[in-house]
Each structure stands twice: as C-alpha cells, then as structure tokens.
C-alpha cells in the first residue's frame, strides 16, 4: 500500500470534502434564516392587509416548504449531485398526489379563495351547499354549519364555492313572510289596518323598513293578506311565531268567520 498516495488523498480529497460539508452547513443555516425572514415579511404584509390569519398561516407553510425544497436541491447541486432526477421524482410525486387528492386540493383552493373574499363569517346564518344554519367554523377544506335542529354539518369548500351562497346575516334586517287567509265576507281593507297595528306592536320588529301588509291574492275562500314584518336575524324566529299569534289574535278579536271555500252549483235544463 502506497502511504504517500493515501496521505495525498487525505490531504486533498478529504480536505475538499470537509470544506464542502462546512459550506453546505453554512448554506443550510443561512438559507433557513433567509427563508424565515421571507416568511415573516410575507405574513406581516398579509396581516397589515387584514388577510385571514388561517390563510396567512397556511400560505406561509406552503411557501416555506417550497423554499426548503429549493434550498436542499441547491445544496445537492453544490456537491455535484445531479438534481434533475430528484426534480423529476418530485414532479411525478406531485402529479400522483394531485390526482389522488384532487377533491381535497379543490376544497383547499376554494377555502383559500373564501378566506380572501369572505362571503360569510363565523356566526352568520347562511344557506350553502343545500345546508341552512349558523357558520361554526371556517376551514381551508370544509365549512362547519350548525343547522337549526342542532346538527353539526361539514360542507366541503368546493361545494360551497361552486354553489349559491345565501347570507341572511349580511344585511341589518330580514323580512318575515307570512300570509292570512280570510273569509270572503271580511273587509280586506279593515283587515289590513288591523294587521298593521298588531304587527307594529310585536317586540323586535324593525320600524325601518316598516312592516308590509297588503292584499296578496283572492281565491274561493276569500282575500289573502300578506303580512311581512322586518327584523334582525337574531330575532327572526321570535318575530315569525309572534306574527302568527298576532294574525290569529286579530281574527279572533274581530270575530271574523273561518274561511270556507265557496262552491256555486248551476243546474242547466236540457
């Protein structure tokens, strides 16, 4: 064994390898520090623009993963390792994951757009994806709704974002829709005046816009009166049921007969 050759190898190759390892460690430390600074600056800018904290956190994580992968590939390239195969492998893995999790990724993308556009917020009463209830939680993959019968329901964000969204809490007041079927002998104008007075006295009914009471239709039973008070969404059901009671009370106090269909029979002589 040639000791001189071994000493030459150790003094050159091993020395260069040690320098490269030390440089790679330095690159890793500095690269990680720079990545941390980039993420911090990005999240600070998003916070200044009032971007949702959940979206800020997840976008920061995604950017951090991408930059860390780029840093590792750069260090491997510094060592002379061909990174083309690694890049191809990562691309193939990305395609496979995207195909397997297409639904999840679609929900993720929809959740990110929802957190930016904010069509509704936690606590709003909404109708989304065929489900009506109160928003309990906004997630990047799904939105949790508590239905009026107290059932926790998770709706995928892809379905939420791709369907019609009704936000009943977005505006200050919401209209209650009720009707009163009266007998044909009842004076419709007198009934309208009585209903207006009774509805205006219901607690939590908004004065602006004022309750709407109108002659809606006529049928064989008699006139149909629409009774439409406005109220804040928090008091919707209270006003809804109180309106029903007010209609019944007015009919009883006025002594109006129960509506019955009118049937006219004609006998034609042959």
CATH at residue 55: 1.10.287.1260
Is residue 108 included in any domain, yes or no? no
pLDDT at position 156 is 86
- What is the domain-level CATH number for residue 125? 2.30.30.60
CA distance 218 to 45: 61
- Between 66 and 195, the more confident residue is 195
pLDDT at position 196 is 94
Handedness of CA 101, 103, 104, 106 (dihedral sign): positive
Do 151 and 185 belong together in one domain?
no
pLDDT at position 162 is 79
Do 158 and 179 belong together in one domain?
no
pLDDT at position 94 is 60
Do 53 and 141 belong together in one domain?
no
Do 187 and 250 belong together in one domain?
yes
- Between 16 and 148, the more confident residue is 148
Is residue 35 included in any domain, yes or no? yes
Mean pLDDT for all residues in the chain: 82
Is residue 107 included in any domain, yes or no? no
Do 76 and 147 belong together in one domain?
no
pLDDT at position 104 is 61
Do 95 and 7 belong together in one domain?
yes
Report the number of distinct structural domains present in the chain.
3
252-264 pLDDT, tens digit per residue, is: 999 999 888 766 6
Do 16 and 95 belong together in one domain?
yes
- Between 25 and 192, the more confident residue is 192
CA distance 134 to 210: 27
Boundary-marking domain end, from 167, 188, 203: 167
Do 143 and 184 belong together in one domain?
no
pLDDT of 10 higher than 70: no
The three state secondary structure string of 132-169 is EEEEEEECCCEEEEECCCCCEEEEEHHHHHHCCEEECC
- Between 54 and 196, the more confident residue is 196
Dmax (CA) for the chain in angstroms is 136
Do 62 and 93 belong together in one domain?
yes
Do 16 and 46 belong together in one domain?
yes
Is residue 82 included in any domain, yes or no? yes
The whole domain housing 247 covers: 174-254
CA distance 17 to 6: 15
226-250 pLDDT, tens digit per residue, is: 999 999 988 999 999 999 999 999 9
Sorted by sequence, the CB contacts under 8 Å of residue 196 that are 6+ apart come out as 211, 213
138-190 pLDDT, tens digit per residue, is: 877 788 999 999 999 998 888 888 788 899 988 999 999 999 999 988 999 99
pLDDT at position 130 is 86
Is residue 221 included in any domain, yes or no? yes
- What is the domain-level CATH number for residue 210? 3.30.70.100
Is residue 65 included in any domain, yes or no? yes
pLDDT of 223 higher than 90: yes
> Considering the chain, what percentage of its residues have pLDDT values greater than 70?
79
Do 78 and 130 belong together in one domain?
no
Boundary-marking domain end, from 150, 167, 184: 167
Do 89 and 12 belong together in one domain?
yes
Radius of gyration of the chain (CA): 35
80-126 pLDDT, tens digit per residue, is: 666 566 666 666 656 555 544 555 666 777 777 777 777 888 889 99
126-137 pLDDT, tens digit per residue, is: 999 889 999 988
């Amino acid at each position: 064994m040639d000791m001189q050759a071994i000493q030459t190898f150790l003094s050159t190759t091993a020395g260069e390898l040690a320098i490269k390892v030390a440089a790679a460690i330095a690159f890793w430390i500095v690269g990680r520090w720079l990545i941390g600074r980039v993420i911090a600056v990005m999240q600070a800018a998003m916070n200044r623009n009032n971007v949702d904290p959940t979206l800020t956190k997840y976008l920061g994580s995604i950017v951090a993963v991408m930059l860390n992968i780029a840093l590792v590939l750069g260090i491997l390239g510094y060592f002379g390792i061909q990174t083309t195969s690694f890049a191809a492998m990562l691309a193939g893995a990305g395609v496979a994951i995207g195909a397997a999790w297409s639904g999840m990724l679609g929900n993720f993308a929809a959740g990110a757009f929802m957190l930016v556009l904010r069509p509704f917020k936690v606590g709003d009463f909404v109708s989304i994806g065929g489900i009506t209830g109160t928003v309990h939680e906004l997630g990047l993959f799904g939105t949790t709704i508590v239905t009026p019968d107290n059932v926790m329901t998770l709706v995928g964000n892809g379905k939420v974002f791709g369907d019609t969204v009704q936000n009943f809490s977005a505006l200050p007041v919401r209209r209650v829709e009720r009707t009163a079927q009266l007998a044909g002998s009842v004076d419709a104008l007198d009934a309208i005046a009585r209903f207006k007075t009774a509805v205006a006295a219901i607690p939590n009914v908004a004065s602006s816009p004022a309750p709407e009471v109108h002659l809606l239709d006529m049928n064989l039973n008699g006139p149909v009166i629409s009774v439409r008070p406005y109220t804040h969404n928090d008091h919707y059901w209270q006003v809804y049921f109180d309106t029903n009671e007010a209609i019944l009370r007015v009919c009883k106090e006025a002594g109006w007969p129960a509506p019955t269909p009118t049937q006219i029979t004609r006998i034609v002589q042959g």
